[in-house]
Structure 1
């Protein structure tokens, strides 16, 4: 039997508070048990972390909203969380279970002020997609226009601040946050700001218009138009623009040349947004992109958009140039400018930078096409994450650029799932030179 969704602020608070108390109790018990062991029992600690992380992931998935979105982001920042926690949160990347249809109908009618039958010729009951803060339903306007209607879950925006406070407390009391308080303040402040924007669908409508302008000359980038008459802060109606999910990009319909063309276009849109527009799509996962056999790319969901400071883009560019040139003293300085390195700490061992550079440079190190389908770059990264703890006091979450890192990681997975074979070194160098 499906659980009744928790939509009230008090209900969400109690659910999260219960989770926090349980996690804190488990952590305290774990610490007490360690006092009576002659040495640390890594297996017991890992088992304890797995239990705590599983409970947190289950609760965030049930509540959806801000905490589920933070869980999705946290699952991608493995440098600052125990592996067991990151692994458990990976489950939140999957499509969320939908809200009951009557809840969605009531939210639409409350926001648009009319019965659904007067607003739409039909509204499909089965969700087109379900995510962390809302879900999408297919519909048709009375003038025959096919649309999708994005509906925010009730109570999500009102509970954002209290949700984040409870989640932060749970992570702290569970011993799961491996960062100084100042860094945690900055990280949660940035996430809160992006979430507040993402919870305002009128802001997303503005973002859609902004990115349609950015890509107006790229006829292979398709971004849906906003239906203003049927859009509010919690309901967003867009023209229906369909394409193939990455799982449907198969050899029967897409030959390798088309897949490679799409790969180059993905790289171009990413680099243009970073270096030319200095404004990036901050949520690049498979559900937010679709493709067509003519090589077109369709982009959805512009709730999470990060406008970048020019000096941050410039520091990022310089850091990339320094890494390509293996100038690790310069790289260290640029990472300080980027806010990723603690300036008061001594210079980081160049061998440490060289290790990461040699892993991350692989797709760009030669002029021959790199086969992303066969890439195991992510495995090499995962194998070296334990080395991060040696330099934990030297680095901090790069708050201003965290969404750049998220964008790049998301695009890597898209290129891998598509099976792109492409050489990006010359294209990357072109952007680095143009930006200078």
Structure 2
């Protein structure tokens, strides 16, 4: 029998409070066992982390909303949480179980002020997609226009602040936050701002229109049109724009030249948004993009958009130039400007920067096409993460640019899954040299 969804603020609080108490108890028990010498090996600690993380991930997945979204961000963010927690949260990247249809209908009618039959010729009961803060249903307007209707889960926006406080407490009491309080404050503050924007579908409608205008001269970038008459703060209706999910981009329909063209267009889109628009699509996972055999790239879900400060974009540009040029003294200075390096600490050993540069720069450091399908860049990064501990006090999560890192990591996985073969150095250098 399916569990009844938790939609009230008090219900969510008690569910999260129960999770917090359980996690805190497990952590206290683990510390006591280590103190008295009954548990001291890393394997036991890892097993304990895995158990706690699994419980947190299950609770977040059931509650959806802000806490689930934080879990998704945490699973993509290095140095935020232990790897056991990030691994447990990866399942939150997949589609969430859907909310009952009667809950969705009630939310649509409450928001739009009319019965569903008056609003739509039909509203399909089976979700088109289910995500962290809402789910999507196909529908048709009475004029025959095929649309998708994005409906926010009830209670999610009202509970955002209390959810975040409770999750932060759970992570703290579980011994899972490995950062100074100031950095945690900044990180959760940034996440809260992005979530508040994402929970406002009127804001997303404005973002969609803004990005459609920015990409107006890029006919190969397709962004759905907003149906204003059927949209509100918690319901967003868009024209139905269909394409192939990355899993459907197969040799039977896409030759290698088309896949490579799509790869170049993904890079161009990403670089244009970062360096020219200084405003980025901040949620680049496979479900938010689709493709067509003519090389078109379709972009969905503009709830998470990050407007970047010009000085952050400039610092990021200089970091990339210094890394390409192997100028590690300049790289150190620019990382401080970016907010990624603690300025009060002495300069970092150039050999440390060289090691990471040699791993991360590979796709952009050659004139021959780089085969993303065969890329093991992520494995090389994982193999070197233990070296981070040597300089733990020298670096901090770059709060202002965390969504740039998220965007680049998300696009790397898309290029890999698509099987793109491309040489990007000359394209990247055009953006790095252009000062607008």
1:38 is displaced (CA, Å) by 8.0
CA contact (8 A) 2:33 2:39 kept: no
Judge which range, 362-371 or 37-46, deviates more.
37-46
CA drift at 1:81: 1.5
Query: Structure 2: how far apart are the matches of 1:371 and 1:173?
Result: 44
User: Following TM superposition, by how much is the alpha carbon of 1:388 offset from its aligned partner in structure 2, in angstroms?
Assistant: 1.4
CA distance in 1 between partners of 2:319 and 2:398 (Å): 13
Give deviations 1:235-289, integer Å, cap 9, x for gaps. Answer: 0000000000000001010000000000000000000000000000000000000
- TM-score using structure 1 length: 0.99
CA contact (8 A) 2:30 2:39 kept: no
Q: Answer yes or no: is the 8 Å Cα contact 1:245–1:291 preserved in 2.
A: yes
CA distance in 1, matches of 2:382, 2:139: 43
Change in 2 beyond 3 A, CA 1:38/1:229 = closer
For residue 349 of structure 1, report the CA deviation from its aligned partner.
1.3
Supply the distance in 2 between the matched residues of 1:337 and 1:346 (Cα, whole angstroms).
15
CA distance in 2, matches of 1:80, 1:300: 27
Q: CA deviation at 1:435?
A: 3.0
What does residue 278 of structure 1 align with? Answer: 278
Residue in 1 aligned with 2:401? 401
Q: Quick one: distance in 1 between partners of 2:201 and 2:90? A: 26
Q: Distance in 1 between matches of 2:190 and 2:68?
A: 16
1:368 paired residue number: 368
CA deviation after TM superposition for structure 1 residue 401, in Å? 0.3
CA drift of 1:348 comes to 1.1
For 1:343-382, what per-residue CA distance to the aligned partner results, in whole angstroms no more than 9, with x for missing partners?
1111111111111111001111110000000101011111
Residue 158 of structure 1 deviates from its aligned partner by 0.2
Encode CA deviations 1:92-149: one digit per residue, 9 max, x unaligned: 1101111000000000000000000000000000000000000000000001000000
Contact kept in structure 2, 1:148 and 1:238, CA below 8 Å? yes
Post-superposition offset of 1:385: 1.4
Q: Report the count of equivalent residues.
A: 436
Deviation (angstroms), 1:3: 1.1
Q: 1:39 to 1:242 in 2, by over 3 A?
A: closer
* Contact 1:317/1:435, CA 8 A, preserved across alignment: no
Any stretches of 5+ residues in structure 2 without a counterpart?
Answer: none
Matches of 1:367 and 1:37 in 2, distance apart? 56
Deviations 1:261-318 (A, max 9, x none): 0000000000000000000000000000000000000000000000000000000000
Partner of 1:102: 102
SS of the residue corresponding to residue 54 of structure 1 reads helix
User: What aligned pairs does 1:37-436 form with structure 2 within 5 A after superposition?
Assistant: 37=37, 40-435=40-435
Shift of 1:80: 2.8
Name the CA distance, whole Å, in 2 between partners of 1:251 and 1:169. 48
CA deviation vs aligned residue, 1:309-338 (integer Å, no higher than 9, x gap)? 000000000000001111111111101100
User: Following superposition, which runs of at least 4 residues in structure 1 exceed 4 angstroms of deviation?
Assistant: none
Q: Between 12-21 and 342-351, report the one with greater CA deviation.
A: 342-351
Q: Secondary structure of the residue that 1:301 maps to in structure 2?
A: coil
Residues 401-433 of structure 1, C-alpha deviation per residue, up to 9 Å, x if partnerless?
A: 000000000000000000000000000011000
CA distance, structure 2, for counterparts of residue 426 and residue 122 of structure 1: 50
* Whole-Å separation in 1 of the counterparts to 2:208 and 2:430: 27
> The residue matched to 1:290 in structure 2 has which SS?
strand
Structure 1 spans left out of the alignment, 5+ residues: none
How far residue 386 of structure 1 moved from its aligned partner, in angstroms, is 1.7
Cα displacement (A) at 1:39? 8.0
Asked if the contact 1:79/1:385 (under 8 Å) is kept, the reply is no
Is the 1:61–1:92 contact (alpha carbons within 8 Å) kept by the matching residues of 2?
yes
What is the alpha-carbon distance in structure 1 between the residues aligned to residue 345 and residue 174 of structure 2? 28
Q: Secondary structure at the match of 1:192?
A: helix
1:78 Cα offset (Å): 2.7
After TM superposition, give the deviation of residue 40 of structure 1 in Å. Answer: 2.9
**Preserved CA contact (<8 Å) 2:364 2:423:** yes
Give the alignment's Cα RMSD to 1 decimal: 0.9
Q: Is the 8 A contact 2:364 2:424 kept in 1?
A: yes
